[in-house]
Amino acid sequence: AEEAVYRSHKDWEDTFETITDAITIHDSNYNIIRTNKAGKELLNLPELEKNLKLKCYTYYHGTEKPPAGCPSCNCIKDGMSGIFEIFETHLNRYLEIRAIPRLNNNKQVVGLIHVVRDISEHKRFEFELINAKEKAEENDKLKSAFLANMSHEIRTPMNGILGFAGLLKNQKLSIDDQQTYIEIIEKSGQRLLSTINDIVEISKIESGQLVIHNKKINLNNVFKELFDFFKPEANKKSIELICDNVQNKSELIIETDLTKLNQIITNLLINALKFTETGSITFGYKLNEQFVEFFVKDTGIGIAPENQEIIFERFRQGSISLTRDYEGSGLGLSISKAFIELLGGKIWLKSELNAGTTFYFTIPIK
Ligand code: ADP
């Protein structure tokens, strides 16, 4: 009989001390009277056994009574076991706590036992899974919107080209009509080419094949050329185009990738022209110690605060509804952002709805 008692006690002690769940044993006043090795590690209770009569709710929650909904109360009052999950701020961990009543020979409650499992990792996986699922659903939606946009962006100019090429076959056309149709075909071709270029650029970015070709460039020349290129388009919309630098700044020569810099500013100017109906577009740069800071400022429709970050993502447009007010593939800004980061700079914006938008970006000075 002694051996049986010894075995039972020894088996219980060995199990108690080696199990990886933290176990705390409490009296009927919620005082912790014992904990196992895992409990001391997980719950930071190294001094506990010297420091008995510590109420669990005071230790865990810093309160004078058990918090509402705590299953330990039912345990002590009615002898009912319970399980709950809680984020313990002072441990910075998610815990699953089982409360089990301790009963004496007469089935009276003399305390309770907490079996505590650290489920932080499990919770982290759960959150990651939920995030990944949401991201996948979001990507799926974006891809569908992208495909719809793409087919629109390819079909519209294609229809223009084929339709007006067909009309040109008519031998009785006046010279003026011929010229108009040829211009439409030319414009449609350019629009198609720019969409295809965007798709090619984004695939290069995705597959990590972007290469920088640095050379010395004169910034004022770059700005002058961009100004001359965009001036007629701005005139057509009666928008004032102002280049901050052309006349009054001394020459600045920097070493960077000219094609990429041109494309970044071009993308920003195209957007500024697209989203501005009246007022002006100003573009230019200023010098900081280590960076050239470029800007393109418009007085257009502005960008709602909730869209100011997401428009830099691929395929994103200010609105992804199917009734699109503005043409575009939603790739321009993500291409510009990738280029700027590759050149060692960053891009950001300030905008107010119906007042205008200013895009800023930096490029390190070499
Ligand atoms: P796209 O112009 O082809 O739609 P972008 O990546 O260039 O793609 O721009 C993404 C979105 O950002 C646009 O659809 C538009 O909603 C918003 N946006 C960009 N530039 C401006 C601007 N200057 N003013 C207002 N909205 C802008």
Any atom of ligand 1 within 6 Å of the Cβ of 202: no
Measured CA angle at 196 (ends 190, 199), to 5 deg: 145
Please report the atom of ligand 1 found closest to the CA of residue 359. 23
Q: How far is the CA of 115 from the centre of ligand 1 (A)?
A: 55
Task: Give the number of C-alpha atoms closer than 13 A to the C-alpha of residue 236, restricted to the C-beta side.
Answer: 7
Any atom of ligand 1 within 6 Å of the Cβ of 333: yes
Q: How far is the CA of 316 from the centre of ligand 1 (A)?
A: 8
Other C-beta atoms lying within 10 Å of the C-beta of residue 324: 17
Q: How far is the CA of 217 from the centre of ligand 1 (A)?
A: 28
Beta bridge mates, 243:
283
Mutate to test the pocket of ligand 1, among 239, 280, 295, 303 (most ligand atoms within 8 A of CB): 303
Q: 45 phi and psi, to 5 degrees?
A: -115, 45
What pLDDT sits at residue 322?
42
Q: Which residue, judged by its Cα, is nearest atom 11 of ligand 1?
A: 317
How many Å apart are CA 262 and CA 335, to the nearest integer? 12
- In the chain (366 residues long), the average pLDDT of successive 10-residue segments reads 94 94 91 88 68 75 78 86 86 90 92 93 95 90 79 87 92 91 92 87 85 91 92 94 73 90 95 95 90 95 92 72 60 92 95 96 90
Q: How far is the CA of 348 from the centre of ligand 1 (A)?
A: 13
Please report the atom of ligand 1 found closest to the CA of residue 331. 6
Q: Which residue, judged by its Cα, is nearest atom 7 of ligand 1?
A: 332
What pLDDT sits at residue 51?
58
How many Å apart are CA 78 and CA 71, to the nearest integer? 10
Spatial CB neighbours of 303, under 8 Å, sequence gap ≥ 6: 311, 318, 349, 351, 353, 357
Beta bridge mates, 359:
296, 349
Any atom of ligand 1 within 6 Å of the Cβ of 317: yes
Q: Where does residue 277 fall: left (phi above 0), alpha (psi -120 to 50 degrees), or beta otherwise?
A: alpha
